[in-house]
Amino acid sequence: MERHTRNYLLAVRLPLGVLLVAMALYAVSLHQLGPAGRATALAVLMACYVWTGWTEFQQIRRMDEMRRRLEMEAMVLAFIGGTGVILLLYFVRVSKLADVPFAVAPLSLWGCYVLAHLWARLRYRYWAL
């Protein structure tokens, strides 16, 4: 395994693991908690998300110029695409063309991020993580 990939996986495994466990516990216990418990659980969940995001940001700062350029280009494309998809879903729902469930939004954003990374990697012909 490439050194950059190994270091990245070592750095993100704990925050990402904690975030996934927090998401699962939140989903399972949501109906049994009162309003204060839900607010506390949501705060813990968002703290885990911020920790994971900060770790990802730190990894981007440690990348070489080519990897950083690819990552930034993919993030800008994902932002543009994701914003467009969310606007489209909103206007489809407001126009009553279809009843779009909220669960479609995060899946659409993640899809835009993956497609943007694939596009950037195809463009630069760069497949190492």
Average pLDDT over residues 70-89: 92
Task: List pLDDT tens digits, range 104-129.
Answer: 888 899 999 999 989 988 888 877 65
Task: List pLDDT tens digits, range 81-92.
Answer: 999 999 999 999
- Residue ranges per domain, the chain? 1-62, 64-129
Question: For residues 44 and 23, is the Cβ–Cβ distance under 8 A?
Answer: no
Rounded to the nearest 5 percent, the helix, strand and coil shares of the chain are: 85, 0, 15
